[in-house]
Amino acid sequence: MHSVSDQGSQQAPATAVLSRHLLIRELGTQDYTAVWHAMQQFTDQRDANTPDQLWLLEHPPVFTQGQAGKEEHLLLPGDIPVVKVDRGGQVTYHGPGQLMVYVLLDLKRRNLGVRQLVTLLEQVLIQLLTPYGINAYAKADAPGVYVDEGKIASLGLRVRKGCSFHGLALNVDMDLSPFSRINPCGYAGMQMLQCKDLGGPQTIAEAKQRIVQCFSQQLNVATLQHTTGLDWQND
C-alpha cells in the first residue's frame, strides 16, 4: 500500500487515519523461529507511516520460553523443540489447532501503555467467547484468559521503539497433551482448555473471523486490509 505523506501539515491527519486502519496478515502454518525473526525485523524497520498489523497463523509443535522462563518448568519436552525468545512470561506450547495472533501495534500512536494493551488483548478474547455462552475472565496477577480456573488463552508481549510484537495464543481445536510436558506459564498443574470442548469456535477459520471483528471494535478500526505471506516489505 502507498505510504501516507509525512509533510508537516498532514502529520495529525495521517496519524488519525493510520490509527483507524489495520492490516490483517494471514500466514497459514509457519515455522515459529522464522515468524519471530520477521516480527523483530518488521518492528525494527517500521516508521511513523507503517500501518499496524495482526498476523494470524498456526505453528508446528514448539515450546517457547520467555525471558522470565525457568528451566524447571520444562518437565519433559522430548522431541518437541524449545525456543528461547524475547517475549515476557514463562514457557508455553504452540501447535496445530491453536490460533496465534501476533499484535504489531504502534503503541505511542494509539496512546496505549503495556498494561492497557494486555487488558485490551484479554478483552478481545473475552468478547470473542461471550456469545458462545463461555464465561471467560482475566486475572490481575496472571495474564491470559481463563474459564473455571482453566486457561484457554495465553499472552506474551515485547515492546520495542514504542511498538508491540508477539501477542496471544487461543486454544481452538488441538492436541492439549504437550502441555503436560511443561508447567504452563510457570504454573504446575495448570489445566489447559480449548474452544472446541466448551462450545466455542470449532475451527481456526471461525476463530479468526471472530477475533478480527473483536480487534476491530476494541481498537476502533474503520478500515481493514487483508493480505497473505511474510513479504511485508512489498505491501
pLDDT in tens, 84-123: 999 988 899 999 999 999 999 999 999 999 999 999 999 9
Tell how many helices (H) and how many strands (E) occur in the chain. Answer: 5, 11
Would residue 185 show up in a list of annotated catalytic residues for this protein?
yes
Per the CB < 8 A criterion, the answer to whether 99 and 194 are in contact is no
* pLDDT above 70: residue 8: no
Span 125-169, pLDDT tens digits: 999 999 999 999 999 888 999 999 999 999 999 999 999 999 999
* pLDDT above 80: residue 232: yes
For the whole model, what pTM was predicted?
A: 0.93
Which residue in this structure is represented by grid cell 499496524?
52
Instruction: Please pick, among 163, 185, 195, 214, the residue that the annotation labels catalytic.
Output: 185
Q: In what order do the strands lie in the sheet with 163-171?
A: 137-139, 142-147, 150-160, 163-171, 98-104, 53-58, 21-29, 223-228
228 vs 6, 12, 95, 136, CA distance in Å?
Answer: 27, 30, 20, 31
Name the nearest CA neighbour of 93 among 60, 67, 71.
Answer: 60
Q: DSSP for 157-176?
A: EEEETTEEEEEEEEE-S---
Question: Given 3-state DSSP classes, what are the helix, strand and coil percentages for the chain, each rounded to the nearest 5?
Answer: 35, 30, 35
Check residues 202 and 20 and name the one with the higher pLDDT: 202
The pLDDT of residue 82 is 96
Q: Report the pLDDT averaged over residues 55-59.
A: 98
d(CA 228, CA 29): 12
- Residue 192's pLDDT band, with cuts at 50, 70 and 90, is very high
Mapping DSSP to helix (H, G, I), strand (E, B) and coil, where does residue 145 land? strand
Per the CB < 8 A criterion, the answer to whether 58 and 28 are in contact is yes
- Residue 9's pLDDT band, with cuts at 50, 70 and 90, is very low
User: What residues contact 118, with CB distance under 8 A and at least 6 apart?
Assistant: 143, 155, 157
Q: Please provide the average confidence, as pLDDT, over all residues in the chain.
A: 91
Per the CB < 8 A criterion, the answer to whether 57 and 96 are in contact is no
Per the CB < 8 A criterion, the answer to whether 154 and 100 are in contact is no
Angle at CA 184, nearest 5°, toward 181 and 189?
Answer: 75
